[in-house]
Structure 1
Amino acid sequence: MQTRHITRLVSAAVLAMAGTQASAAGFQLLEQNASGLGNAFAGTAAVAEDASTIFFNPAGMTELQAREFSVGVDFVRPSFDFSNTDSVFLYSPVTVPASGGMSGDAGDWSAVPNAYLSWALTDRLYAGIGFSAPFGLKTEYDDDWIGRAQALKFEIKTMNVNPSLAFKVNDMISVGLGLNWQRMEAEYARMATVLSPPFAAAGLANTKVKLDADDDSWGWNAGILFKLSPTTKLGLAYRSSVKHKLDGSLKFEGPLAGLSPLTTNSDAKADVELPDTFTLSVAQQLSSDWEMLGDLSWTGWSSIKEVKIVRTSGALAGSTAQTLETNFRDTWRISLGANYKLNDAWKLKFGVAYDQTPVKDQASRLVSLPDANRTWLTVGTQWQVNPQSRLDLGLAYLFVDKTHINNDQAADGRGRVTGTYDSDVVILGAQYSMGF
């Protein structure tokens, strides 16, 4: 009974804090520990240095002490500064230049927590459980920004509970399997009507529409760890896609709310299949002081081609209120890391990575997700407090390619947003791990 209560508390804390700022391409969150941050998350499926291996490769639990736990948090700060070129609104029956502010910065600080516990049931069989947030995103603009008809706020939160088992087949091979219960919450808000200046001057404000929806669903993950030699480890890991059937409501607020079936509150649903991932990792001890790490990972973002928001009640039940045309492609990520053992107490970490965006082009780029290819540069340190415990600190700076957008939704009454985003991401992480 007490264990279930603790699980609920940890799960609630993860969901409350997590998943509001994407750092990897798309809206994936790699920050499932801080021990890997300094290495740009290279070697994640092979290194198995603490209990966070439950998320990255559960087979790695066989490399841990009889009982271990890790708890950490990563603070993520993305920046999305938009510069307009020739965005337009559609005031029926004419198109006019968009008016309004530049919105400032659509990004902000957010925390991504994680917690893991593993223990040996026998000398060959291990069990563990992890709490994490594998996906998340938040973009939020001022109410008067020029793209307000397309989006004012878009937020995705996930919370993942991951019980796992690992089995040591022999001294060279270990396998692992995990079950994932995942909760997803989504909020999307935009201006449902954008009035022309004469009407706005007459005191009529614009009308907002907001979707709130959530779902609980299941997935799985598996991994295998090869100890090719005393100095070489190779890891393969897979995390399944998770199909969410989000249920919630569409709510309108403003002078036109309820005046027609199109601006009347209703229940709503949306189906989203979060992508699967496959990772190949290697960890190579070069000497007593130096270790090299590498990662090649694939993410199946093409599972999200579009997201249809469908009304499920009221006069327009069964009709599509809006379709978010994402048209995502599958992506690749490559990362390299190095560790240098300064002395028995301190280890220095370094990393670099290249992360491909799932967004195909500027025409399909959404103001909700102004994503582009990014390059990671990272540093970190590990302090061995005593033989049983250690503290990891990490810092990452992500250079994001110049992001062009030319998203034309004028045919649907939401205007066209044309311009560029200047973006970057800063991540700070801390993690405490202990064996007992």
Structure 2
Amino acid sequence: MATFNKRSASFYYRNILGAGCLLCFFIQQAAGAGLAVMEQSAKELGQAFAGAPTNIDDGSMVFFNPAAMSQTHSRLVSVVGHAVFPPLDFENNASQPDPILGGARLRGGNNHGSLPVTLIPSVYYVQPLNDQFALGLAVNTPFGMRNHYQSEWPGRYQAINSELMAINVNPGFSLKLTDKFSFGAGLNVQYLETKLTNAVDFGTICLQMLNLGSCAAQDLLPQLADGHIALKGSSVGVGYNLGIFYALSQNTHLGVSYRSSVKHRVHGKARYSVPDNASILTQNNVFVDTKIRSTITLPDSVLFGFSHRFNPQWSVAGDIMWTRWSHMQELRVGFLSMQPDSALDLKWRELGVTL
């Protein structure tokens, strides 16, 4: 029987699983918004979210700036649904030959990607209690991503199906300290769920662990013995948000809000689908179904906005947003089997501000 040394193979595990299981979090997330979902209000979307922290007539103020709630004089209820139709056209023009495969390219054709239509719902409620104090509630999805590729596309070892969704329940209050100045705060209870799948090239893994003769005898050759891994995990985290609203005049408003980071300790399961001829590779309690754990910190952000109304027909508004993406330095998944942790260096950083 062929055997392998777990210690000598551990570096390869880290690379296979780090690239495969973890990179699928971030496929199609190269834009500056990262995992953030800005589609929180139909009204604000209509004006490109300009001046969102100064909004006083839409329920999304609970999310964008809770201080503004005490500036409204009537109950507000907003139920919003955004349908996202993201285009994706994949062409395999830049992939390089893999030396592990003897210079062969990964199999798979062009245009094998699709991003499902995604519905992003939000619900907001604002209730003034008197002229100085108001309560509010927001239920929305401030972070998320979703993509899907066909099972035979060239990047199948990086990602096939990937989903991340953060559902945020955000009660808040606002206190009007003067006619011009208001303060607001809120509590954020956030549920995070992830579902990730990708193919595993057990043929290539065999060549890294055993010798060519042993692998060939088992028909374990690169790209000819694919299995799959599915990761599913969830977590509940807690954060807060703060806001300030200031009316320079009846027609000119300023707003600043801060949303804290939320740390998630994700727990879940890894499930492997291993070809029968690759069972030899699982003998040391690796590539087996097991529990997993990971830590993800969704970043904090600061939003500043202004608005000025010239007349009932014309107004001008703008905002500046900064997000601490440097929280996303590494993504690490720990397996409760003998399998080493898999880690992916992200090294995300702040590129400046979003206007």
Distance 1:251 1:145, change over 3 A: same
Show the counterpart of 2:35.
27
1:37 aligns with 2:45: yes
Letter in 1 for 2:48: A
In structure 1, the residue corresponding to 2:248 is in which secondary structure? strand
Residues 91 and 111, structure 2, Cα contact 8 Å, conserved in 1? no
Matches within 5 A, 1:62-211: 62-88=70-96, 90=98, 92=100, 94-193=102-201, 195=203, 199=219, 205-211=225-231
Matches within 5 A, 1:366-377: none
Letter in 1 for 2:191: R
Show the counterpart of 1:418.
none
Over the aligned positions, Cα root-mean-square deviation in angstroms equals 2.4
C-alpha separation in 2, matches of 1:35 and 1:147: 38
Show the counterpart of 1:298.
322
Residues 201 and 225, structure 2, Cα contact 8 Å, conserved in 1? no
C-alpha separation in 1, matches of 2:130 and 2:80: 27
1:225 aligns with 2:249: no
Distance 1:89 1:216, change over 3 A: farther
Q: By percentage of residues, which structure has more strand?
A: 1
Show the counterpart of 1:311.
335
C-alpha separation in 1, matches of 2:202 and 2:87: 26
Show the counterpart of 1:330.
350
Show the counterpart of 2:212.
none
C-alpha separation in 1, matches of 2:44 and 2:220: 52
- Structure 1 residue 308, shift from structure 2 partner: 0.5
Letter in 1 for 2:159: A
Matched residues, number: 310
The TM-score, its normalising length taken from structure 1, stands at 0.67
Matches within 5 A, 1:264-303: 264-303=288-327
Q: By percentage of residues, which structure has more helix?
A: 2
- Structure 1 residue 181, shift from structure 2 partner: 0.2
C-alpha separation in 1, matches of 2:123 and 2:70: 18
Residues 149 and 190, structure 1, Cα contact 8 Å, conserved in 2? yes
Please list the CA deviations of residues 89-138 of structure 1 after superposition, one character each: whole Å capped at 9, or x if unmatched.
Answer: 64746342121122533322110000011112222111111100000101
Residues 73 and 131, structure 2, Cα contact 8 Å, conserved in 1? no
Distance 1:258 1:58, change over 3 A: farther
In structure 1, the residue corresponding to 2:86 is in which secondary structure? strand
C-alpha separation in 2, matches of 1:203 and 1:279: 48
Residues 141 and 166, structure 2, Cα contact 8 Å, conserved in 1? yes
Residues 300 and 331, structure 1, Cα contact 8 Å, conserved in 2? no
**Seq. identity, %:** 30
Answer with 1 or 2: which has the greater Rg.
2
Residues 322 and 354, structure 2, Cα contact 8 Å, conserved in 1? no
C-alpha separation in 2, matches of 1:239 and 1:128: 16
Show the counterpart of 2:13.
none
Runs of at least 4 residues off by over 6 Å:
21-24, 200-203
Letter in 2 for 1:315: M
Show the counterpart of 1:245.
265
Can you give the 5+ residue segments of structure 1 that lack an aligned partner in the other structure? 1-20, 336-436
Distance 1:65 1:104, change over 3 A: farther
C-alpha separation in 1, matches of 2:97 and 2:226: 13
